[in-house]
Amino acid sequence: MIIVMKPESSLKEKEEVINKIKELGYRPHVIHGTTRDVIGAVGDERGKFVLQSLEYMSGVEKVVPILKPYKLASKEIKKEPTIVKIADGVSIGDKKVVVIAGPCAVESEEQIIKVALAVKAAGADILRGGAYKPRTSPYTFQGLKKEGLKLLAKARKISGLPVVTEVLNPETAELVAEYSDILQIGTRNAQNYELLKKVGQLKKPVLLKRGMSMTIQELLMSAEYILSEGNRSLILCERGIRTFETKTRNTLDLSAIPVLKEETHLPVIVDPSHATGYSKYVPAMSYAAIAAGADGIMIEVHPEPEKALSDGQQSLTPEKFSEMIQKLRAFVTAAEREK
């Protein structure tokens, strides 16, 4: 239910409403709007009509049900777009399009620092790199783990770029959060509800990738797991879905961007590297993502893609990446955004 407060309601009245929501066994989520605050009360759907009684409390304008199954992610509760602050001068979801770039995996100090400086020079805003890698085969490179996190922190210090890296399980979530600016939930974990709850409890922005066989509604329900634990700094990522097509690694569902923009206030970025699986297709799909309204893109870049320990085939060289960012600018302008 949404408890819409009167514009002139006092702090005390809001507190009383919050306490009443808790008393009734629901979780309050205060959302500060431009003209008024609303308080979302989420919990067991079956008994939610007891919340209707809040309509008679002082300071309350009205109480309305949230019709969508994803409550806190929906635009019913928050119409203004969410802007997620990552670091000083870097936010996702505002007018500026964000570029995340870096290798699939952190492989060595030399590699990550080289890429960090190269992508920064080319215009990237955030560095990516996996320290814990979820690989299809147990016999392939699994990541440098804690050592990889340390190298990422070093690359962040040297380049000044904030970093995003994947968290694979609840046990290592806090450790990963210590070393990174954004916690990535990968496609294989997008419905790992215990992990979603865990990152929802941490105070770090989360980048939630769409599961490769997940509907948009399921993606929003996964988002809801994170939001309902209290973490509002959430970014969604379309990274391609499984279809019958085999010419590309996945099929980039570009239409997910306008649909998500219609359904949710959360920022949406696109990962054309995992979506296509081939570096030669990455520029076209990056331009298309911006044209379709994405708030940013995430690109795999490796100094020597042919020697990469994972995903070399889809990784751009720093030179190709730089070229692509130059060309991207025209699409950014056409989409009435900035870079």
Residues within the interface to ligand PEP (CB under 6 A): 104, 130, 134, 166, 186-187, 209, 239, 271, 274
Taking the least distance from each CB to ligand PEP, the nearer of 59 and 148 is 148
What minimum distance in Å lies between the beta carbon of 189 and Mn ion? 14
104 part of the interface to Mn ion, by CB under 5 A: yes
> Angle CA(120)–CA(121)–CA(126) in degrees, nearest 5?
15
Q: What is the DSSP letter of 74?
A: B
What minimum distance in Å lies between the beta carbon of 187 and ligand PEP? 4
Q: Which residue is nearest to Mn ion (CB)?
A: 104
Q: Decide the pairing of beta strands 234-238 and 126-128.
A: unpaired
What minimum distance in Å lies between the beta carbon of 134 and ligand PEP? 6
Taking the least distance from each CB to ligand PEP, the nearer of 44 and 245 is 245
> Angle CA(300)–CA(303)–CA(306) in degrees, nearest 5?
85
Taking the least distance from each CB to ligand PEP, the nearer of 39 and 256 is 256
> Angle CA(319)–CA(205)–CA(18) in degrees, nearest 5?
160
Residue 148 touches which member of ligand PEP, Mn ion, none, C-beta under 5-8 Å by kind: none
What minimum distance in Å lies between the beta carbon of 125 and ligand PEP? 16
- The continuous run of DSSP H or E covering 207 comes out as strand 206-209
Quick one: the chain helix, strand, coil %, rounded to 5?
40, 20, 40
Q: Which residue is nearest to ligand PEP (CB)?
A: 186
Q: Which residue has the tokens 């019709």?
A: 67
Q: Which residue has the tokens 């009734």?
A: 24
Q: In this structure, what token pair is assigned to residue 297? A: 């893109």
Q: At 168, give phi and psi (nearest 5°).
A: -95, -25
Stretch near Mn ion under the rule CB under 5 A, chosen from 78-86, 102-110, 209-217, 223-231: 102-110
Rounded distance between C-alpha atoms, residue 11 and residue 59, angstroms: 9
Taking the least distance from each CB to ligand PEP, the nearer of 107 and 271 is 271
Residue 295 touches which member of ligand PEP, Mn ion, none, C-beta under 5-8 Å by kind: none
What minimum distance in Å lies between the beta carbon of 290 and ligand PEP? 19
Could you give the 3-state DSSP secondary structure of residue 284? helix
Residue 239 touches which member of ligand PEP, Mn ion, none, C-beta under 5-8 Å by kind: ligand PEP
Q: What is the DSSP letter of 55?
A: G
Contacts 24+ apart (CB under 8 A), 141-144: 141/105, 141/107, 141/309, 141/310, 143/105, 143/106, 144/105, 144/106, 144/107
166 part of the interface to Mn ion, by CB under 5 A: no
What minimum distance in Å lies between the beta carbon of 196 and ligand PEP? 14
What minimum distance in Å lies between the beta carbon of 130 and Mn ion? 7
Of 271, 311, 318, 328, which lies in the binding site for Mn ion, with binding defined by CB under 5 A?
311
The contact set with Mn ion (CB under 5 A) reads: 104, 311
